[in-house]
Amino acid sequence: MTRCDGCDTEFKWSEILKRNLHYGFIACRKCGGAHKIDFPSRLKVTLVSVVPFLVFGLFLTPFDNTFFTIVTGLFIFVIGMLISPFVANYKLVEEG
């Protein structure tokens, strides 16, 4: 799990998950340093969530039922988002 560049405090999974959803900043709960997801991690987050969702929804489509395909695709997307805090890396950004 990614850590604060300033004071080495480990970020919580839930903190990272929230930020991964809208690519926001994480403020360290100890030193207040603002962290932003780095570019390679944006790709990784996309890879574990959006890509499996698209591959499943557009190419695999194992079910005749469109509704079931969408629901299962969304489930895959959610699983990917839950994994994303483990693959994402955040780095300290200059304030202001």
Question: Under the rule (CB under 5 A), what is the footprint of Zn ion?
Answer: 4, 6-7, 9, 28, 30-31, 33
Alpha helices in 13-65 (DSSP H): 13-22, 39-54
Nearer to Zn ion by Cβ, of 7 and 74: the residue is: 7
The distance of closest approach from Cβ of residue 9 to Zn ion in the complex, given in angstroms and rounded to an integer, is 5
Residue 13 to residue 32: CA distance in whole angstroms = 17
Nearer to Zn ion by Cβ, of 10 and 47: the residue is: 10
Nearer to Zn ion by Cβ, of 80 and 85: the residue is: 85
Nearest to 95 by CA among 1, 32, 37, 42: 32
